[in-house]
Structure 1
Amino acid sequence: MEQFKNKYIEALNLEIKNLKENGDKLRAEGSADESKFEMIKTNIVDIYLKIFMVAYNNVFVKVNHECLRTIVDENTENKDKLIKCYEFLLNKVTEPWREKLEKNKKFNLVEKIVIEEVKIEESEKIHNMFKNMING
């Protein structure tokens, strides 16, 4: 799992680097809105990196979050525990985004809708990367 952890962290850091570079390029070209979206995506990937480390440390180091204790105490392999912890924490973060998106749609707040869609799209992309990498 240590090897997977290092590869996943490396992939997330590379994604952050690429998004920042693209955002800087867009800003230099005068594309402020597109640059803003790249910054939002960068923040999402950074959130996923931090959440992954919390999940990883709770499975392999020590349970610090009471809400994860039931998952970590299960009689399953550590890989499965890591997946469950990570997805549990990610859901805690992304569920409010989905709720906010629906609320914004109800009031036709176009700019806010686009921002929430960018956040959700990037989070799904990173989550799929995680699933593909951990399942080999």
Structure 2
Amino acid sequence: MTLIEQLKEEYLKELQALISTYKKASERRAEEGSSDEAILETIKSNIGDIFFKLFNVSYRKACKQEESEIVELRKLAETYYDFFNKIPEPWREKMLKDKEHNMMQEYYIEQIKLETAEQVKKLFEKHFNRLCKEV
């Protein structure tokens, strides 16, 4: 198995487990009657799902088996990291506006989205950095 395939398999498996954890927490909160908390867990799940799909987009863009494995691995990471910079930017902007207008519930939702994206990014970095050490 190539390093890229290993990264894809291990990272997406752990990300899917994280998404599943959020979904289960959402269901549990809903059953407990905590609908606001259930919504926040659903938001986390949706953010995880977005970045799951964006990883696959990055993989298809970068991994065409035309260059060395390490070059494609780095291209994959660069392409994926670009999404971590682009996607959350409107959330940051909205969060600042929400705070300016004292819209704290909306502010908190944007904060949750940003924190979840950062958590997903760190998960990817963990797998990517571990595999890069093997090269």
For normalisation by structure 2, the TM-score amounts to 0.87
Residue 49 of structure 1, aligned match among 40, 49, 52: 52
Equivalenced residues, count? 124
- Aligned equivalents of 1:123, 1:90: Cα separation in 2: 7
% identical aligned pairs = 35
Q: In the alignment, is residue 9 of structure 1 matched against residue 12 of structure 2?
A: yes
Structure-1 residue corresponding to 2:84? 90
> Does structure 1 conserve the Cα–Cα contact (< 8 Å) formed by 2:63 and 2:73?
no
Task: Write out per-residue CA displacement over residues 70-119 of structure 1, whole angstroms, 9 at most, x where no aligned residue.
Answer: xxx9xx71121111100112222111111111111111111100000000
Which residues of 2 match residues 1-136 of structure 1 at below 5 A?
1-61=4-64, 77-136=71-130
Indicate the RMSD between aligned Cα atoms, in angstroms. 1.5
Q: 102-111 or 34-43, which moves further after superposition?
A: 102-111
Gaps of 5+ in 2: 131-135
Letter in 2 for 1:59: A
Task: Write out per-residue CA displacement over residues 41-62 of structure 1, whole angstroms, 9 at most, x where no aligned residue.
Answer: 0000000001111111100139
Q: 77-86 or 120-129, which moves further after superposition?
A: 77-86
> Does structure 2 conserve the Cα–Cα contact (< 8 Å) formed by 1:51 and 1:90?
no
- Aligned equivalents of 1:133, 1:94: Cα separation in 2: 21
> Does structure 1 conserve the Cα–Cα contact (< 8 Å) formed by 2:44 and 2:116?
yes
Task: Write out per-residue CA displacement over residues 11-56 of structure 1, whole angstroms, 9 at most, x where no aligned residue.
Answer: 1111111111111011101111111000000000000001111111
Letter in 1 for 2:118: E
For normalisation by structure 1, the TM-score amounts to 0.86
Q: 109-118 or 80-89, which moves further after superposition?
A: 80-89
Gaps of 5+ in 1: 63-72
